[in-house]
Amino acid sequence: MFNDPDQYQEIRDAVRQICAQFPDEYFRKIDEQRGYPEAFVDALTKAGWLAALIPQEYGGSGLSMAEASVIMEEINRSGGNSGACHGQMYVMNTIVFSGSQAQKEFYLPKIAAGELRVQSMGVTEPTTGSDTTKLKTTAVKKDGRWVINGQKVWISRVQHSDLLILLARTTPLAEVQKKSDGLSCFIVDLSKAIGNGLTVRPILNMVNHETNELFFDNLELPEDALLGQEGKGLKVIFEGLNAERTLIAAECIGDGYWFLERATKYANERVVFDRKIGQNQGIQFPLAESFIELEAASLMRWKACERIDARQDAGVHANMAKHLAAKASWEAANVCLQTHGGFGFACEYDIERKFRETRLYQVAPISTNMILAHVAERVLGLPRSF
């Protein structure tokens, strides 16, 4: 059951083949150097995997969400970290769903061919955090241009992206009927913006994850940088988020299986007190528990994929999948570390690296409490808590 082939075996095998060229040592070294896995991302891009969700008419492979999720799962299951490039798979969804015909024709074929990277989405701000509708970055129309002022925080992969999808307020909060109105999305050409109104300051953090503070000081954008309808930017972002949540759920599932594979192998080999440590129920039960949790999370992942692929509302299912998977991968990480005893702390085992990496997903791209609040309100009909 652990390694049974499924209907996606061809995709799994093909992705595994690429990942096999980038063994543990590769990712360990990148982590040590706080570098970016450029060669790995290039190989995935060239093979077309990161263009999986771009429709075929624009040069992508037009795969289903289920298939795309398998790609991400396999990257993490192989020991890699999709966090370096997962944005490339879902951020462009904002253009697929909300772009004008001209924007789709201009950007999507270039993204599919790997000529342009759209890896960054700028939503979070330092003073407002999860309270997105209160964000303070403004975009004001002036002489046929948009002028952007404000600040963002934790904006990932900006230094490895050509474009940034930015959310800013175009109508003051006090002037809109619904607080989710009055926000708009923009496509920012980073090569033109940086140094001309946009300053990027990297944030050193617990994971080797390229993320930044952004400062906008009268950054000017052309009128056609607007993505989707003015004032409806939150909808543009949300349309892409179900894919983001579901793909990250798949990454967590991949991480979880990686931890379990390492832990069961070690538990079957390590002998203490004249027996394999895996013979002790204190070691094997947490591993079994972890497997059950991962399998359950994976079922919810398939459910979310099914709804997205059927073009049904998938918000709740995508959030639930991400929640279950992030918890299950974190639990698997903990069990794997415990199973390895002191060796779990040695960098050469890669467990501490993956342990740090998978912890992120209970905070970003949406923190656990926000998912619980969403389910409590939308599914259970409880009063809104904020």
Q: Given the structure tokens 């020991």, which residue do they identify?
A: 79
DSSP 298-322: HHHHHHHHHHHHTT---HHHHHHHH
Give residue for tokens 């966090």.
Answer: 83
Structure tokens at 158: 């900006």
Q: How far is the CB of 20 from ligand FAD (least distance, A)?
A: 27
Nearer to ligand FAD, 36 or 106 (CB): 36
Told to check if 166 binds ligand FAD by CB under 6 A, we report no
Binding to ligand FAD by residue 386, rule CB under 6 A? yes
How big is the site for ligand FAD, counted in residues (CB under 6 A)? 23
Is 329 near ligand FAD (CB under 6 A)? no
Q: If you write DSSP's letter for every residue of 32-93 in order, what string do you get? A: HHT---HHHHHHHHHTTGGGTTS-GGGTS----HHHHHHHHHHHHHTT--GGGTHHHHHTTH
Compute the C-alpha angle 284/285/289, nearest 5°: 120
Nearer to ligand FAD, 125 or 350 (CB): 125
String marking each residue 102-121 x if it binds ligand FAD according to CB under 6 A: -------------------x
- Nearest approach in angstroms of CB 233 to ligand FAD is 13
The answer to whether 133 contacts ligand FAD (rule: CB under 6 A) is no
94 lies in the binding site for ligand FAD (CB under 6 A): no
> Toward ligand FAD, which CB reaches closer, 63 or 91?
91
Q: How far is the CB of 248 from ligand FAD (least distance, A)?
A: 11
Interacting residue with ligand FAD among 364, 374, 375, 376 (CB under 6 A) = 364
H/E stretch holding 198: strand 198-202
Q: Which of 98, 156, 184, 208 binds ligand FAD (CB under 6 A)?
A: 156
Q: Are 202 and 211 contacting, i.e. CB atoms less than 8 angstroms apart?
A: yes
User: Does residue 130 bind ligand FAD (CB under 6 A)?
Assistant: yes
* Residues contributing to the site for ligand FAD (CB under 6 A): 121-124, 129-130, 154-156, 205, 209, 211, 360, 363-367, 369-370, 373, 385-386
